[in-house]
Amino acid sequence: MKYVFITYSGLSLPIAYKLQQEGNDVTVGQIENIKDYVMEEEVKKATESDFNRERRMRLFKNMVKLQPAERVVEQLRQVKNPQEYFIFFEENNLFRWADKVRDLGFHGIFPTKEDYLFEIDRDRAKEFVKTHYQKLYTPEVREFSKVSDAINFLRDTHEVWVLKGKHDHARTFVPTMNDAMRAKTQVIEMLSNFPYEYERLGFILELFIPSIIELTPEKMYYDGVPLATTIDLENKSFGSGNISIQTGCAEDLVFPTLMEDRINKICFPPIIDEMAKQHKGLFIWDASILINKRDGKMYFGEFCPNRPGYNSFFTELALLGSVTQFFEKIVRKESPFSLGTVATSVRIFNLNRDEETEQVAANMTIDYRPEIEKDLWLWDVRKNQRGKLVTVGSDWNLAIITGAGKSIDEAVSKMYRNVEGFAFVGAYYRSKDDYLSLDYPTSIINRLNYGLERGLYRLPFDVKVGEIQAR
């Protein structure tokens, strides 16, 4: 097949690059104007500085074939053999772009407006949960468009609240203090220091659930046919021990599950199968659940239909011999994964800053041993005129490094051997000891244990003695 990626943020470009490295014909359509990316009601307020746009448009320059998205769409409309193409829209808010080619006979992932609304419209999601997820509770949520309104609310509250922005640059913030007075002071500090980011698309305050265990099951379909289920356990915090600010994701563990596992019965009621039948091509439904260890209650976290989580998606792809294999299998309506495998990932952050602008440092050399190529997912990268890989400086998320095997120990050991083969001055990542830790309750291994104890899933891969301790 030939592959076409439509991107604004560059999230899917590591996949496009790997497909090209595997010998496939790949074209990337870049959305140049932010007003063609945001929702219609956001167009008037949407702005992007010339500096940020210039850097964003340089992602993967001289690495993949980059063209304006409008031109690529026009070329697609002239294609005579659409069944030989796979079109990848990297985010569910690209549904307007997907609408332009959805009915032309292409393979692909084609998000809809409904997919996007499930993610951003909390009231809609809550009503859906109440109707179809009788075993899940919904945490109390307050929505805001203005920082001043949220601050007034927080000053009068006696509860602890989690701050969640709707824009990608508006970070989730979980207070580090259980004391309500100090916790709300922290949230007010975040809102006061970053009002623009939180007001761009609005934000929510979600009532804090103590002793939380987060799990993210996923179900994958093609043309409405269920193909596979997986589960993702991620660490979002920047620091080891799950301290400091939230990132998109810092570490992941992903493995295929049995469709009849209890967690899949809870998270994928029959309505999801019916919804999948209304979607052409690849349809991904994930539903994060938050479990209160104190009373065992399960809460709805969020839906992200047809928006792959890119750490977790890279981690899933690491389970396979090649990225090409994934796409070829799903269009044949076959599960791309094999039970008995597990994959892990760790994100590499660029902590270097330009001396004059304090922006993420650009033009810093990236180097690595050739043998880690399969498990290296470069992100903030381009090739310079000498053909060397260097940073773009668009984002501090530099790369993801993965590992896979038939046991957690094998996957993690391979991943950190790969990390040792990656050379970048000023790189930060969470350590192997942290990844395998049992010393803090929200560690990946402790959460994996908890799900086993609750009978939510079975482990279809080898577990070595001492790797997961029985309680």
Mapping DSSP onto H, E and C, the string for 285-322 reads EEEEEEEECCCCCEEEEEECCCCCCHHHHHHHHCCCCC
DSSP 407: B
Helix (H) or strand (E) holding 323: helix 323-331
pLDDT of residue 466: 52
Q: Which residues of 424-464 form beta strands (DSSP E)?
A: 427-428
DSSP 107: E
Q: Which residues of 208-279 form beta strands (DSSP E)?
A: 212-222, 225-239, 243-257
Distances (CA, A) of 252 to 5, 332, 408: 24, 28, 12
Inter-residue long-range contacts of 379-384, CB under 8 Å, 24+ positions, other chains counted: 379/10, 379/13, 379/14, 380/59, 380/350, 381/59, 381/60, 381/63, 382/58, 382/59, 382/60, 382/61, 382/62, 382/63, 383/61, 383/62, 383/63, 384/62
Inter-residue long-range contacts of 405-408, CB under 8 Å, 24+ positions, other chains counted: 405/341, 405/342, 406/340, 406/341, 406/342, 406/461, 406/462, 407/342, 407/461, 407/462, 407/463, 407/464, 407/467, 408/253, 408/342, 408/344, 408/436, 408/445, 408/461, 408/463, 408/464, 408/467, 408/468
pLDDT of residue 123: 78
Q: How many CB atoms lie within 10 A of CB 385?
A: 6
The domains located in the chain, with CATH, are 2-111 (3.40.50), 140-207 (3.30.1490), 212-453 (3.90.600.10)
88-104 burial: b if 16+ Cβ within 10 Å, else e: bbbbbbbbebbeebbee
DSSP 14: H
SS3 state of residue 101: coil
CA–CA gap between residue 34 and residue 163 (Å, rounded): 25
CB 181 within 8 A of CB 188: no
SS3 state of residue 45: coil
CB 400 within 8 A of CB 347: yes
CA–CA gap between residue 242 and residue 462 (Å, rounded): 27
Q: Give the amino acid at 251.
A: E
Tally the residues of the chain: 471
CA–CA gap between residue 369 and residue 212 (Å, rounded): 39
Q: Which two tokens stand for residue 249?
A: 């994701």
CB 320 within 8 A of CB 326: yes
Quickly count helices (H) and strands (E) in the chain. 16, 21
Q: How many CB atoms lie within 10 A of CB 74?
A: 12
Per run of 10 residues, the mean pLDDT along the chain (length 471 residues) is: 98 98 98 92 87 96 98 98 98 96 98 91 84 89 93 93 85 85 94 92 87 92 98 95 89 97 96 96 94 90 86 97 98 97 98 93 98 98 97 97 96 98 97 95 93 92 61 40
424 beta partners: none
pLDDT of residue 171: 84
Residue 408's nearest CA partner among 339, 468, 456 is 468
pLDDT of residue 470: 47
pLDDT of residue 469: 55
CB 457 within 8 A of CB 263: yes
